[in-house]
């Protein structure tokens, strides 16, 4: 169906920050219903470009979900990127490091470092990618939505070397059934435990509960969630949208009545194409 040329680039060709010397144990999960990548220690970007002459000048970094223990690399990664490239965007799937004390000095910041580096990379290479460095967004699903929303609320602090002072703030966010909160009441405990450990301090829980980190500078955001999601409660999206509204940040939400968790582009219970709605919203905002 798709025929986009792909380019895979290492995120850190000159050495991975916050890394311990350890064997590369990356593997795919053959038992999963969807392609899942485990034990990522060498992060990359896979770049999908629109057809010649069809580019809109917008780029988007995609963070697949997987509870911070795996990456759902197809239905929340490559399939999404192909669709976005068809729409004229340069789409870049981020294979980010999964938190692991064996490969990182501080596992709590490893994924965020990779998300920041991805945004930095896109802006550094805007010319060759054919995009506007002021039209660089981030997208994430489930735990990848937590990572994307962390990038969109923690950009004032650089967790990577940034000698050129390149902005690490995404220009927009698109979040699919995202983990937003790490609170006991609405958060996703598995994602929290994998990122912060089983007994995190209260200030760490607050720091990474991104509904509490919204400011008027948080990027415009589109969210989609099913009301019957029994893995990541819809309250994550409800609370984040409310925080954005309270700070006068443009936000649009599409709620499915049913669909559960992890449906990617296609909610089997509905004919509504949420990504088409998101793209229309982005177009209306100049992206």
For position 32, what pLDDT does the model report? 67
CA–chain centroid gap for 14, Å, is: 24
Q: Which residue would you say has higher pLDDT here, 33 or 50?
A: 50
Q: What is the CA radius of gyration of the chain?
A: 17
Q: What's the mean pLDDT when you consider all of the chain?
A: 95
pLDDT digits (tens, 9 = 90+) for 110-165: 999 999 999 999 999 999 999 999 999 999 999 999 999 999 999 999 999 999 99
> Six-digit token pair at 277?
């709605």
Structural domains of the chain, with CATH = 6-284 (3.40.50.1820)
- Above 90 in pLDDT, residue 33? no
Residue 34: pLDDT band (50, 70, 90) is confident
Q: Could you tell me the pLDDT band of residue 29, with boundaries at 50, 70 and 90? A: confident
What is the pLDDT, as a whole number, of residue 230? Answer: 96
Of 241, 121, 222, nearest in space to 174 by CA: 222
What was the pLDDT predicted at 5?
A: 60
236 burial type by CB count under 10 A (0-12 exposed, 13-18 middle, 19+ buried): buried
More confident residue, 32 or 247: 247
Cβ burial, residue 14 (10 Å; 0-12/13-18/19+): exposed
pLDDT(248) > 60: yes
Query: The dihedral of CA 101, 142, 251, 202: what is its sign?
Result: negative
Predicted pLDDT of residue 2: 44
Mean pLDDT, to the nearest integer, of 197-211? 96
**Average pLDDT of span 157-184:** 97
Region 161-187: what's the mean pLDDT?
Answer: 96
Measured CA to CA, the distance from residue 102 to residue 85 in angstroms comes to: 36
For the whole model, what pTM was predicted? 0.96
Instruction: Give percent above pLDDT 90 in the chain.
Output: 93
181: Cα within 13 Å, side-chain hemisphere: 19
Instruction: Report, as an integer, the average pLDDT of 223-230.
Output: 98
pLDDT of residue 123: 98
pLDDT confidence band for 3 (50 / 70 / 90): very low
Question: What pLDDT was estimated at residue 280?
Answer: 97
Token code pair at residue 124: 């550094």
Helix (H) or strand (E) holding 85: helix 79-86
């Amino acid at each position: 169906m798709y025929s986009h040329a792909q380019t895979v680039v290492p995120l850190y060709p000159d050495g991975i920050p916050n890394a311990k010397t350890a064997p590369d144990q990356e593997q795919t999960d053959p038992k999963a219903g969807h392609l899942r990548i485990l034990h990522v220690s060498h992060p990359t970007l896979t770049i999908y470009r629109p057809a010649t002459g069809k580019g809109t000048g917008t780029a988007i970094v995609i963070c697949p979900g997987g509870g911070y223990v795996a990456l759902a690399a197809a239905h929340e990664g490559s399939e999404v990127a192909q669709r976005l490239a068809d729409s004229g965007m340069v789409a870049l799937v981020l294979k980010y490091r999964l938190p692991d004390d064996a490969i990182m000095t501080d596992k709590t910041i490893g994924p965020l470092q990779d998300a920041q580096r991805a945004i930095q990379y896109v802006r550094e290479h805007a010319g060759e990618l054919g995009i506007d460095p002021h039209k660089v967004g981030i997208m994430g699903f489930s735990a990848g939505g937590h990572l994307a929303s962390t990038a969109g609320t923690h950009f004032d602090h650089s967790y990577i070397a940034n000698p050129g002072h390149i902005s690490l703030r995404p220009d927009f966010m698109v979040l699919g059934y995202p983990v937003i909160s790490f609170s006991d009441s609405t958060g996703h405990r598995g994602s929290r435990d994998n990122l912060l450990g089983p007994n995190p301090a209260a200030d760490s829980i607050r720091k990474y509960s991104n509904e509490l980190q919204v400011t008027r500078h948080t990027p415009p955001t589109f969210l989609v969630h099913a009301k019957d999601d029994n893995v990541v409660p819809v309250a994550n999206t409800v609370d984040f949208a409310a925080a954005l509204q309270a700070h006068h940040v443009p936000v649009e939400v599409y709620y499915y009545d049913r669909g559960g968790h992890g449906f990617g582009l296609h909610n089997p219970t509905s004919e509504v194409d949420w990504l088409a709605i998101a793209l229309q919203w982005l177009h209306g905002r100049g992206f």
